[in-house]
Amino acid sequence: MKAYAPLVLVGCALLPACTDNIRQAPAAQIAQQTEHSSSPDPQGLTWFAPVLHLSQYRTLFFGYDTVNYRLASADTNSGFRLLIDINYGGAVRHYDFAQLDGQSRPLSHQRHIAERCQLFNSLISSCIYQDLLSLDLAAADLAQARQTGLHLQLASATLRYEALDLPANYIQGFLQGQGTAKP
Protein backbone atom coordinates (compact mmCIF):
# COMPACT_ATOMS: atom_id res chain seq x y z
CA MET A 1 0.00 0.00 0.00
CA LYS A 2 2.87 2.38 0.78
CA ALA A 3 4.13 1.98 -2.79
CA TYR A 4 0.88 3.43 -4.15
CA ALA A 5 0.79 6.52 -1.93
CA PRO A 6 3.22 8.57 -4.10
CA LEU A 7 1.20 7.66 -7.21
CA VAL A 8 -2.01 8.86 -5.59
CA LEU A 9 -0.39 12.15 -4.56
CA VAL A 10 1.10 12.73 -8.02
CA GLY A 11 -2.17 11.77 -9.72
CA CYS A 12 -4.15 14.09 -7.49
CA ALA A 13 -1.74 16.96 -8.09
CA LEU A 14 -2.27 16.59 -11.84
CA LEU A 15 -6.07 16.51 -11.67
CA PRO A 16 -7.72 19.93 -11.36
CA ALA A 17 -10.64 18.46 -9.42
CA CYS A 18 -8.29 17.38 -6.62
CA THR A 19 -6.48 20.69 -6.29
CA ASP A 20 -9.01 23.36 -7.22
CA ASN A 21 -11.54 24.72 -4.78
CA ILE A 22 -13.96 26.67 -6.92
CA ARG A 23 -15.06 28.70 -3.88
CA GLN A 24 -11.60 30.23 -3.68
CA ALA A 25 -10.91 30.47 -7.41
CA PRO A 26 -10.45 33.94 -8.92
CA ALA A 27 -13.32 35.32 -10.99
CA ALA A 28 -11.32 34.88 -14.22
CA GLN A 29 -11.01 31.12 -13.61
CA ILE A 30 -14.72 30.82 -12.89
CA ALA A 31 -15.47 32.78 -16.08
CA GLN A 32 -13.39 30.26 -18.05
CA GLN A 33 -15.24 27.34 -16.46
CA THR A 34 -18.69 28.83 -17.14
CA GLU A 35 -20.39 26.62 -19.71
CA HIS A 36 -22.64 27.66 -22.59
CA SER A 37 -24.96 25.19 -24.26
CA SER A 38 -26.16 25.85 -27.80
CA SER A 39 -29.54 24.29 -27.02
CA PRO A 40 -31.51 25.22 -23.89
CA ASP A 41 -32.24 22.67 -21.18
CA PRO A 42 -35.90 21.90 -20.26
CA GLN A 43 -35.99 25.08 -18.13
CA GLY A 44 -34.71 27.23 -21.02
CA LEU A 45 -31.26 27.71 -19.49
CA THR A 46 -28.07 27.87 -21.56
CA TRP A 47 -25.39 29.37 -19.24
CA PHE A 48 -24.09 27.32 -16.30
CA ALA A 49 -21.54 28.29 -13.64
CA PRO A 50 -19.27 25.61 -12.14
CA VAL A 51 -20.88 23.47 -9.45
CA LEU A 52 -20.41 24.34 -5.77
CA HIS A 53 -20.55 21.43 -3.33
CA LEU A 54 -21.58 21.12 0.31
CA SER A 55 -21.67 17.92 2.35
CA GLN A 56 -22.33 16.83 5.90
CA TYR A 57 -21.69 13.37 7.30
CA ARG A 58 -24.56 11.79 9.22
CA THR A 59 -23.68 8.60 11.07
CA LEU A 60 -27.14 7.05 11.18
CA PHE A 61 -28.59 7.76 7.75
CA PHE A 62 -26.59 6.53 4.76
CA GLY A 63 -23.45 8.64 5.22
CA TYR A 64 -23.25 12.05 3.57
CA ASP A 65 -25.98 14.56 2.88
CA THR A 66 -24.82 16.47 -0.20
CA VAL A 67 -25.87 19.66 -1.92
CA ASN A 68 -24.62 20.59 -5.39
CA TYR A 69 -25.64 24.02 -6.58
CA ARG A 70 -24.79 26.54 -9.27
CA LEU A 71 -25.95 29.65 -11.05
CA ALA A 72 -27.60 29.43 -14.46
CA SER A 73 -29.36 31.74 -16.91
CA ALA A 74 -30.95 31.84 -20.33
CA ASP A 75 -29.43 33.54 -23.36
CA THR A 76 -31.90 36.39 -22.93
CA ASN A 77 -30.38 37.29 -19.53
CA SER A 78 -33.91 38.11 -18.38
CA GLY A 79 -33.16 36.57 -15.00
CA PHE A 80 -30.99 34.09 -13.20
CA ARG A 81 -31.63 30.85 -11.41
CA LEU A 82 -29.84 29.00 -8.64
CA LEU A 83 -30.08 25.26 -9.39
CA ILE A 84 -29.95 23.04 -6.29
CA ASP A 85 -29.52 19.24 -6.25
CA ILE A 86 -29.87 17.76 -2.74
CA ASN A 87 -29.28 14.14 -1.67
CA TYR A 88 -30.05 13.25 1.94
CA GLY A 89 -31.10 10.41 4.21
CA GLY A 90 -33.56 10.29 7.08
CA ALA A 91 -37.00 11.83 7.22
CA VAL A 92 -38.40 13.60 4.18
CA ARG A 93 -37.66 17.33 4.11
CA HIS A 94 -39.95 20.04 2.84
CA TYR A 95 -37.87 22.67 1.08
CA ASP A 96 -40.46 25.44 0.77
CA PHE A 97 -38.41 28.61 0.56
CA ALA A 98 -35.00 30.23 0.82
CA GLN A 99 -34.31 32.99 3.31
CA LEU A 100 -32.27 35.64 1.54
CA ASP A 101 -31.53 39.13 2.90
CA GLY A 102 -34.24 38.78 5.54
CA GLN A 103 -36.87 37.81 2.94
CA SER A 104 -38.43 34.45 2.22
CA ARG A 105 -38.46 33.49 -1.46
CA PRO A 106 -40.30 30.43 -2.77
CA LEU A 107 -38.33 27.51 -4.17
CA SER A 108 -39.48 25.78 -7.36
CA HIS A 109 -39.54 22.00 -7.14
CA GLN A 110 -38.48 20.07 -10.23
CA ARG A 111 -38.24 16.59 -8.72
CA HIS A 112 -38.51 14.66 -5.45
CA ILE A 113 -37.45 10.99 -5.42
CA ALA A 114 -37.21 8.39 -2.65
CA GLU A 115 -34.25 6.40 -3.99
CA ARG A 116 -33.92 3.65 -1.39
CA CYS A 117 -35.46 2.80 1.96
CA GLN A 118 -34.30 0.37 4.63
CA LEU A 119 -34.59 -0.56 8.29
CA PHE A 120 -31.69 0.36 10.65
CA ASN A 121 -30.90 -1.73 13.74
CA SER A 122 -34.41 -3.23 13.52
CA LEU A 123 -35.70 0.04 14.98
CA ILE A 124 -35.63 2.91 12.53
CA SER A 125 -36.89 2.96 8.97
CA SER A 126 -35.34 5.59 6.74
CA CYS A 127 -34.87 6.51 3.08
CA ILE A 128 -32.44 8.27 0.78
CA TYR A 129 -34.05 11.19 -1.05
CA GLN A 130 -33.08 13.39 -3.95
CA ASP A 131 -34.63 16.81 -4.45
CA LEU A 132 -34.05 19.11 -7.41
CA LEU A 133 -34.96 22.71 -6.66
CA SER A 134 -34.40 26.14 -8.13
CA LEU A 135 -34.52 29.70 -6.88
CA ASP A 136 -35.23 32.59 -9.24
CA LEU A 137 -32.87 35.55 -8.85
CA ALA A 138 -33.10 38.97 -10.46
CA ALA A 139 -30.18 40.76 -12.09
CA ALA A 140 -30.34 43.23 -9.18
CA ASP A 141 -29.75 40.36 -6.71
CA LEU A 142 -26.52 39.38 -8.45
CA ALA A 143 -25.39 42.97 -9.05
CA GLN A 144 -25.56 43.59 -5.30
CA ALA A 145 -23.98 40.21 -4.46
CA ARG A 146 -20.95 40.82 -6.72
CA GLN A 147 -19.35 42.68 -3.80
CA THR A 148 -20.45 40.67 -0.77
CA GLY A 149 -21.53 37.27 -2.08
CA LEU A 150 -24.93 35.69 -1.66
CA HIS A 151 -25.91 33.83 1.52
CA LEU A 152 -29.17 31.95 1.87
CA GLN A 153 -30.80 29.35 4.09
CA LEU A 154 -33.10 26.62 2.76
CA ALA A 155 -36.11 26.13 5.00
CA SER A 156 -39.64 24.84 5.48
CA ALA A 157 -42.39 26.51 7.45
CA THR A 158 -41.03 24.97 10.66
CA LEU A 159 -37.40 23.92 10.06
CA ARG A 160 -34.19 25.41 8.72
CA TYR A 161 -31.97 23.20 6.60
CA GLU A 162 -28.78 23.88 4.64
CA ALA A 163 -27.09 27.28 4.50
CA LEU A 164 -25.67 27.96 1.02
CA ASP A 165 -23.21 30.62 0.01
CA LEU A 166 -22.12 31.93 -3.36
CA PRO A 167 -18.86 33.87 -2.92
CA ALA A 168 -18.52 37.27 -4.60
CA ASN A 169 -15.74 35.97 -6.88
CA TYR A 170 -18.03 33.13 -8.02
CA ILE A 171 -20.81 35.55 -8.96
CA GLN A 172 -18.39 37.94 -10.69
CA GLY A 173 -16.86 35.07 -12.66
CA PHE A 174 -20.23 33.76 -13.80
CA LEU A 175 -21.34 37.20 -14.96
CA GLN A 176 -18.03 37.69 -16.78
CA GLY A 177 -18.27 34.23 -18.33
CA GLN A 178 -21.64 34.90 -19.85
CA GLY A 179 -20.63 38.39 -20.95
CA THR A 180 -22.94 40.51 -18.79
CA ALA A 181 -20.15 42.04 -16.70
CA LYS A 182 -16.72 43.41 -17.43
CA PRO A 183 -13.69 41.82 -15.71
Note whether residue 67 is domain-resident.
yes
Note whether residue 36 is domain-resident.
yes
pLDDT-derived band of residue 73, with 50, 70 and 90 as boundaries? very high
Taking all residues of the chain, what is their mean pLDDT, rounded to a whole number? 84
Note whether residue 60 is domain-resident.
yes
Residues 6+ apart with CB under 8 A from 49: 30, 33, 34, 70, 71, 72, 170, 173, 174, 177
Percent of the chain at pLDDT > 90 equals: 50
Write out the DSSP string of 99-119. EETTEEEEPEEEEEEEEEEEE
Identify the domain containing residue 82 by its residue range.
23-177
Note whether residue 8 is domain-resident.
no
Per-residue pLDDT reduced to its tens digit, 108-139? 999 988 887 877 666 777 788 999 999 999 99
The whole-angstrom separation of Cα 66 and Cα 154 is: 13
Note whether residue 130 is domain-resident.
yes
Whether the predicted pLDDT of 79 surpasses 60: yes
Outline where 3-100 has alpha helix (H).
5-14, 16-19, 27-33
Whether the predicted pLDDT of 177 surpasses 90: yes
Q: Please, are residues 127 and 89 in contact by the beta-carbon 8 Å criterion?
A: yes
The whole-angstrom separation of Cα 64 and Cα 86 is: 11
Note whether residue 9 is domain-resident.
no
Structure-model confidence comparison of residues 67 and 117, the more confident one: 67
DSSP type of residue 29: H
Structure-model confidence comparison of residues 141 and 121, the more confident one: 141
The whole-angstrom separation of Cα 148 and Cα 139 is: 15
Least confident interval from 2-16, 26-40, 76-90: 2-16
User: Where is 35: in which H helix or E strand?
Assistant: strand 35-36
Note whether residue 7 is domain-resident.
no
pLDDT for 12 equals: 44
The whole-angstrom separation of Cα 9 and Cα 5 is: 6
Structure-model confidence comparison of residues 167 and 180, the more confident one: 167
pLDDT for 121 equals: 67
Q: How many domains are there within the chain?
A: 1
126-146 as b/e: b if 16+ CB within 10 A: bbbbebebbbebeeebbeebb
Note whether residue 4 is domain-resident.
no
pLDDT-derived band of residue 38, with 50, 70 and 90 as boundaries? confident
